[in-house]
Structure 1
Amino acid sequence: MQKVFFHYADRNLSIKEKKSIHQSIEYIFQNENKPLERIDYIFCSDDYLLEINKTYLQHDFYTDIVTFDLSNEDSKETIGEIYISIDRIIDNAKKLHQPLFNEKLRVIFHGALHLCGYLDKKEVDEKLMRLKEDFYIQYHLNK
Structure 2
Amino acid sequence: MKNKITAFLIIGFLAFLSTAMYVYAQSGYEPMMMRDMMNGGYNYNNENYSAKSFPNAKLSEDAKKGGVLFESLCAQCHGQYAQGKIGPNIQGASLSNINWALKNVSMMNSVSTNPQLKNQKNIYYISKFLKSIKKGDNN
Q: Using CA pairs under 8 Å that are at least 6 residues apart, name the structure with larger relative contact order, 1 or 2.
A: 2
User: More strand by proportion, 1 or 2?
Assistant: 1
Q: Which has the larger radius of gyration?
A: 2
Superposed pair shares fold, TM > 0.5: no
After TM superposition, the score normalised by the length of structure 2 is: 0.28
> Between Structure 1 and Structure 2, which shows a larger proportion of helix residues?
2
**TM-score (normalizing by structure 1):** 0.28
